[in-house]
Amino acid sequence: MTNTVTNNLIVNLTPAAAEEVRSLLTKPENAGKHLRVYVEQGGCSGMQYGMTFDEQREGDVIAEHGNVAVLVDSFSAQFLRGSVVDFSDALTGGGFKLNNPNAKQSCGCGKSFET
């Protein structure tokens, strides 16, 4: 399997996000998986973000953050370079949030963007 481990990070995790991901990785359904951050066509602004726990695939770019491996496919990497994933456990507006410096415009929900 050809993969790239990079220090020129595509996606960074804040300490809060890394801690939450480590916690979620302890669940049996996530055993042996890593956090995957990706983009796909769709959403109200043209492209939308996604995050899932997944196995490593051919061509993935891999970065380590606080003992958490983050996988990004080559298509998504071109849109996500320099992005930061944060996590908040606030009752209102909590959850994972992705801050993408490449997005020219984002929708109100923050889950889709335009480049």
Q: CA 63, 66, 67 angle in degrees (round to 5)? A: 75
Query: What is the fold, at CATH topology level, of the domain defined by 4-114?
Result: Hypothetical Protein Aq_1857; Chain: A; (2.60.300)
What percent of the chain shows pLDDT beyond 70?
79
**pLDDT, average across residues 69-94:** 90
Amino acid letter for position 98: L
Show Cβ contacts of residue 25 under 8 Å, excluding neighbours closer than 6 positions.
33, 34, 35, 53, 68
- Read off the pLDDT band of 110 (50, 70, 90): very low
**pLDDT, average across residues 28-53:** 86
pLDDT for 90 equals 86
- Read off the pLDDT band of 47 (50, 70, 90): confident
Amino acid letter for position 95: G
* Single pTM value for the model: 0.80
